[in-house]
Amino acid sequence: MKTRIPLMADPVWPEVMKIAIEDNQEPLVPVSLAPAPLQVYPAYYKMGIPYAVPECHTRTGIYRRLLKAAKQLPAGMSLLVLDSWRPYGVQQYLYDTLYNALETRLPKKSAAELEQLTREFVSLPSTRADAPSPHLTGGSVDVTLLDQQGLMLDMGTQFDEASAWSHTHAFEEIATPNARETEVIKNRRLLYGIMTAAGFTNLPSEWWHFDYGNQLWAWYSGAERAIYGATQPDSLENRWRREVEKYSAN
């Protein structure tokens, strides 16, 4: 992909949260069932993050778009999903951890300033029906690329690195990139290109974060409304409860 990654403004969260949601009720599905070249590595579970789950779930529409994106990769490469639907407890843990780290390092910053800095990389934890955290909708995915040996390509920063270099466009600003920076630019353009071609939008502060169907996607795509609200994987208990209710109704 030779096309430059465009410079995009950060979302105006108060306006994003005003976008109407009309959930289309697509279920969550496990991405680990996907065929190659789509792979899964539930990063937060592997890191031992509290409340993280050992699977990456997405809405059905996201799943199909991930497959479409992965099929655009050069032969031998894979698209790796690191995180997708995220329990509220994980969102709260990530937010608090980054906020506390910033507060320790920047003691003169006000609470409002610390919140703004934190939200650059972690959305505000929310279960509000009209404004859920993006990952809580099953419409956000964190992804990267693997080479033919299953190693992650150099994207310039680590996944979830709270750095200015994590901004998707950051390396495009280098006037004379060296060999490593040129490789990073190529890799980011490839990831950005296949994901946006599949209908996803990107969060400008995170090269790994892409959305479809939720409020953040609606904000960047210009859609009138979001089609994914807060959701969660179905459970055996919930399925049995529905079955019992149907039986009782008859």
CA distance 158 to 166: 8
Given this model, what pLDDT does residue 117 score? 86
Q: Which of 85, 99, 98 is nearest to 52 (CA)?
A: 85
Does residue 96 sit within a domain? Answer: no
Q: 111 in the Ramachandran plot: left (φ > 0), alpha (ψ -120 to 50) or beta?
A: alpha
User: Dihedral sign, CA of 177, 74, 157, 14?
Assistant: positive
When divided into structural domains, the chain yields a total of 1
- CATH number, domain containing residue 148: 3.30.1380.10
Range with the largest mean pLDDT of 92-101, 111-120, 223-232? 223-232
Q: Is 209 annotated as a binding residue?
A: yes
Q: How confident is the model at residue 249 (pLDDT cuts 50, 70, 90)?
A: confident
Q: What is the mean pLDDT of residues 174-197?
A: 98
Does residue 111 sit within a domain? Answer: no
Q: What is the pTM of this model?
A: 0.92
Q: What is the mean pLDDT of residues 31-42?
A: 97
Q: What is the mean pLDDT of residues 50-57?
A: 96
Given this model, what pLDDT does residue 121 score? 86
Does residue 118 sit within a domain? Answer: no
Does residue 241 sit within a domain? Answer: yes
Q: Three-state DSSP class for 177?
A: coil
CA distance 127 to 88: 7
Q: 206 an active-site residue?
A: yes
Domain that holds residue 68: 13-87+123-249
Does residue 117 sit within a domain? Answer: no
Does residue 243 sit within a domain? Answer: yes
Share the mean pLDDT of the chain.
94
Using the predicted structure, report yes or no on whether residue 247 has a pLDDT greater than 80: no
Does residue 108 sit within a domain? Answer: no
Q: What is the mean pLDDT of residues 241-246?
A: 78
Given this model, what pLDDT does residue 129 score? 95
Does residue 140 sit within a domain? Answer: yes
Given this model, what pLDDT does residue 161 score? 92
Strand 78-83 and strand 201-202: the pairing is unpaired
Q: Burial of 15 by CB count in 10 Å (0-12 exposed, 13-18 middle, 19+ buried)?
A: exposed
Given this model, what pLDDT does residue 1 score? 54
| Catalytic entry in 55, 115, 206, 224 | 206
